[in-house]
Structure 1
Amino acid sequence: MEVEEGNYLQYNSNFIMNSLARDNNGQENLDDEIQYRDRGVQPKLIKNYILGDVLGEGAYGKVKDAMCSFTQKRVAIKILKRVRLKKIPGGEASVLKEISITKKLHNKHIVKLIDHFIIEEKGKLYIVYEYVGGGTLQQLLEHSPKGKLPMAQCQFIFKQLTDAIEYIHSQKILHRDIKPDNILFTHGNVLKLSDFGVSEDSSQIEDFECLSRSYGSPAFQPPELTQFQQTFSPFKIDIWAMGVTLYLMTIGKFPFSGTNMYTLFENISKCNIVFPTDIDKDLQSLIKGILQVDHNQRFTLEQIKSHPWCLKELPTEEFVPLLPETKFLPLEMAYGGDEEEELIFGYENDPDQISSISHSTIVKHNNSNHFYHDKNITLSSSSSSLNDSKDDIVVPNNSNIINELQSSSDELSNHQLNVNTQAQPPQQNQDPRSSPQPPLRNSSNRRPKITFESPVDKNKCIVQ
């Protein structure tokens, strides 16, 4: 963008342009078609990922909201400091084991691992996962007025959790840390199991004694670990944690508690479960069958799936809502974030999901001061075809605009579906359908080019 200051022109990328200004009454102001405002802090770019807000923090690092600049898909990046990992025995090896296990799992109920890399200069390890924006089961419980969920919602969640555990067990994987914080939801109500930090691949274990040590959350540990038993069934550890989670969802509190770790483990070993008087008898039978002190008597996954409570139809109740969809902040800063606008990118890795931009989109032609406003342009998802054919251009029935577009056909010969603000010099034999370059890295002497495409009207508009 060029900003006139005195008698000379200076390129300044610290401002962004809104396509349409509005007056105090919220009406379109045709006299002032361009509005300039401060861009704010430039977002960081790590490899080909634009970093956003912090989603969570732990002892060894944090998880950040991010977006892949190639696919424009939203992701979550776990950033771990290697200095902190090296302070604990086998810390970095444990993280690499988590990566290895997660790469092995491919199921709709498992959070997908997308990428991982190390940047030696920063001393950090980056693990890229798919973005799951509906929140965790723990957040659902916290937002519920009574601290518990409706029975129909509990059944819906528990059946998905059973499918997730059944899949990872079929792959010889022990999760060992099943709890509400590690159960995520998409905005399509699909459960995703996450955090395989203390998981084990049983096919790679020679000495099963290592599984006798407690690594997960204390309140979800089974009696065989709290009593330090030498013989137990490793896969029944996850099933016990499923029972504790089910009790927490339906009753609204933990089945076992204690003022300290010793008291908690003692109560778990005694396994004295108290149920409310109005509890469903089938649900009570299911929880009792799962929370058995003797792991040999504990329900298997097949017994859980065929239990009457999981099969019967419960009365319909209003579900506790998931967390609302959010905008990706760096793109909101870069391309506008007014209340009247919709700018939501790359949710849930869903190719059928399309986000819309309700504000006007500007087409500016080279060697011309004319601007054309085309409302209701939609931005297609990243899985849309990158078609460069000129036949895809559809313009309104306006002779002046058609003449202008025809006069500038050389400029419109190459349109890609991307948001690319890193200008690069032309290269010979360069494929115009190649992956877009990372955005928000503008050259000091080039203007950013933004291309939007409507999958419905096949309109392509360029801001340059």
Structure 2
Amino acid sequence: MEADAHAEMRMLNDDNVSNTEFPPKYSDGDFSKNGMIQQGRDDQPSVTWLDDEEIDKLDLSLTNDPGNLFFNRVDSAEIIYQAKKKACKMVGKYVMGELLGEGSYGKVKEVLDSEDLSRRAVKILTKRKLRRIPNGEQNVRREIQLLRKLKHRNVIELLDVLYNEEKQKMYLIMEYCVGGLQEMIDSAPEKKLPLFQAHNYFVQLLDGLEYLHGQGVVHKDIKPDFQKKLAKTSSPPRPTEIIVPKDSFGGEIALPLPECSFITRLVGNLLLTLDHTLKISDFGVAEALELFALDDTCTTGQGSPAFQPPEIANGQETFLGFKVDIWSSGVTLYNITTGQYPFDGDNIYRLLENIGKSQWEAPDWLYKLDANLANLVLGMLQAEPDNRFTLQQIRHHAWFCCAPEVLGEVIPVPPMKGDPFRCSTVLPCLEAYHYQIENGDDDVYFTEHDLNQKLAKQAAELAAHIKSSNTKKDPSNRKRSRKSLSCISVKQLTTCRPS
């Protein structure tokens, strides 16, 4: 067998087959039952197939002669990658930018209106993905119908809807927001907001909620972030560290990875604009009450478990919709001011059990932090809906009427991909489209060694940034912007050629 294998390998370098052309395509009739090409035909060359077992038996001494091998080893430093150029893509009159976030229903990208140069965001939905989500298409249609009639400063505005029947895609053009409320909380050293800043956002949340209820709309899913951060729940945990190359020799280091440094962030339900205006978004599970309905009774609850009231956690068939939004707003207020949740559990069932079995009591340390805040949260988290605060009671509460004293610094919107100003991602695409050099002089090439060096540098900068944030050094150091570590996309390595 070894001799036959040697003979087969040597045939590849034989002078008699140096000019051999590729054989023609075979039809189904050219194959025997075992899948082998039938031998002995005059118009077809004789072919011998080697299976994996036979290949494994080949003499490894052939590696001493590179000419007898199909593949040669190439050092990584000799491979040159070409950076992918930014393509200018348009959907209707909108120029597409980069990815802003991603939710269960689809991706969100930045776009630019080519007519008035307005900065917008587009939610891209595919029918294939919606069909895999229970009531996915129904929820999207409901969201579009609701957003078309809602116009308020603290409610996200739907500007346009585009359809692409060929690609089975739907594009929802919306107001542009720089980030989410939870994203800002995650970037804070103590994972919470100062009381004065939380008060500002809560007042805006209540303004938007009052408008929705006045329009007969129950949101049902008020919360800071798309994904709840409680450990051991139904939501999959995010990675806490990333392994990056330390040098070009294969060494590795593990670095903690803050959630706000993800390129693809999950889209939250409470978003922020450049001027820190809060926007209520994601009306996929919202419900519009009948015009002549006697009350706000609802029958379906599809919100996040950690923000659901006891009546839904206990499985009641009907409940008051407005009181559901009051409860979830109370959980949100408690979360952004303390960095914690009023209820937790080892899994989703324990979580719902803890929510539904007892009345929540404000801890003593919350009264020490702010007694009025503790009293307000307690009133909003009453287990009995009839005892729960109404919007009017919240508006007349002492903590709502009197803003806390401004102490410390405002938590800023965290940088996106190392950019503290969150500049438009559409402009690089336009520059590449209008000013690209056709002769290729502007092509960027780099080796794997360059990639490793760049990763190591970014990792060191990220580690220094995290260390400075945790140790709370001089405020001037915390203001210093550092480019966060970003994951290298395989799609960026479009071409590969030897040097």
TM-score, length-normalised on structure 1?
Answer: 0.61
Structure 2 unaligned blocks of 5 or more: 1-82, 226-268, 415-419, 434-499
Contact 1:248 1:254 in 2 (8 A): yes
Structure 1 position 249 matched with structure 2 position 340? no
User: Among residues 158, 161, 169, which one is paired with 1:124 in the alignment?
Assistant: 169
Matched position secondary structure for 1:129: strand
Question: Aligned runs of 1:77-92 on 2, under 5 Å?
Answer: 77-88=122-133, 90-92=135-137
**Matched residue, 1:221:** 308
Higher helix share: 2
| Matched residue count | 299
Other-structure match for 1:348:
none
Letter in 1 for 2:346: T
In 1, the alpha carbon distance for the partners of 2:278 and 2:320 equals 26
1:299 corresponds to which residue?
A: 389
Q: Pick closer, same or farther for the CA change 1:286–1:137 going to 2, 3 Å.
A: same
| Mapped pair 1:271 → 2:316 | no
**Deviating more after overlay: 138-147 vs 39-48:** 39-48
**1:16-415 to 2 correspondences below 5 Å:** 40-88=85-133, 90-133=135-178, 135-181=179-225, 182-203=269-290, 211-269=298-356, 270-277=358-365, 278-317=368-407, 318-323=409-414, 324-335=420-431
Structure 1 contact 160–191 (Cα < 8 Å) conserved: yes
**By how many angstroms is 1:313 displaced?**
3.7
* Cα deviation, residue 332, structure 1: 2.6
- Please report how far the alpha carbon of residue 91 of structure 1 lies from its aligned counterpart in structure 2 after TM superposition: 2.4
Asked whether the equivalents of residues 360 and 381 of structure 2 are also in contact (C-alpha less than 8 Å), the reply is no
AA in 1 matched with 2:359: C
- What SS class does the counterpart of residue 63 from structure 1 fall into? strand
Matched residue SS, 1:328: coil
Preserved contact between residue 222 and residue 325 of structure 2 (Cα < 8 Å): yes
Partner AA of 1:275 in structure 2 = P
**Cα 1:148/1:98, change in 2 over 3 Å:** same
C-alpha separation in 2, matches of 1:205 and 1:58: 34
Q: CA deviation at 1:228?
A: 1.5
Identity %: 40
* C-alpha distance in structure 2 between counterparts of 1:87 and 1:231, whole Å: 27
| Distance in 1 (alpha carbons) for counterparts of 2:146 and 2:167 | 25
Aligned to 1:390: none
Look up the match of 2:42: none
d(CA) in 2 for partners of 1:83, 1:232? 33
**Which consecutive unaligned segments of at least 5 residues does structure 1 have?**
1-37, 338-464
In the TM superposition, residue 89 of structure 1 has moved relative to its aligned partner by 5.2
CA distance in 2 between partners of 1:230 and 1:205 (Å): 21
- Residue type of the partner of 1:286? L
Structure 1 distance, partners of 2:169, 2:211, is 32
CA shift for structure 1 position 185: 1.1
Q: CA deviation at 1:51?
A: 0.9
Does the 8 Å CA contact 1:65/1:77 hold for their aligned counterparts? yes
Deviations 1:6-51 (A, max 9, x none): xxxxxxxxxxxxxxxxxxxxxxxxxxxxxxxx99332211111111
Which deviations, in whole Å up to 9, do the C-alpha atoms of 1:303-362 show, x marking residues without a partner? 00110011124211221112443222232343389xxxxxxxxxxxxxxxxxxxxxxxxx
| Aligned 8 A contact 2:110 2:426 in 1 | no
Assess, with a 3 A threshold, how the Cα gap between structure 1 residues 276 and 248 changes in structure 2: closer, same or farther.
farther
Deviation of 1:111 after TM superposition, in Å, equals: 0.9
Amino acid aligned to 1:163: D
- Aligned partners of 1:197 and 1:102: how far apart in 2? 10
* C-alpha contact (below 8 Å) 2:298/2:318 kept by paired residues: no
2: CA distance between counterparts of 1:295 and 1:116?
38
C-alpha distance after superposition, 1:362-387 (max 9, x if no partner): xxxxxxxxxxxxxxxxxxxxxxxxxx
Cα distance, 1:108 vs structure 2: 0.7
**Which structure would you say has the larger RCO, counting Cα contacts within 8 Å and 6 or more residues apart?**
2
> CA–CA distance in 2 between the matches of 1:130 and 1:161?
17
Alpha-carbon distance between aligned partners in 2 of 1:230 and 1:87, rounded to the nearest angstrom? 26
Is the 8 Å Cα contact of residues 212 and 225 (structure 1) preserved in structure 2? no
Q: Is the 8 A contact 1:116 1:125 kept in 2?
A: yes
Cα–Cα, structure 1 residues 90 and 217, in superposed 2: closer, same or farther, change >3 Å?
A: closer
1:399 maps to which residue? Answer: none
Q: Is the 8 A contact 1:161 1:191 kept in 2?
A: yes
SS in structure 1 at match of 2:290: helix
Larger Rg: 2
SS where residue 54 of structure 1 aligns?
A: strand
Residue matched to 1:371: none
> Is the contact made by 1:256 and 1:273 (CA closer than 8 Å) also made in structure 2?
no
* 8 Å CA contact retained: 1:256, 1:264: yes
Aligned to 2:438: none
8 Å CA contact 1:61–1:79 kept in 2: the answer is yes
For the residue of structure 1 that corresponds to 2:385, the secondary structure is coil
The SS at the match of 1:41 is coil
User: Aligned letter for 1:102?
Assistant: L
Q: TM-score, normalised by structure 2?
A: 0.57
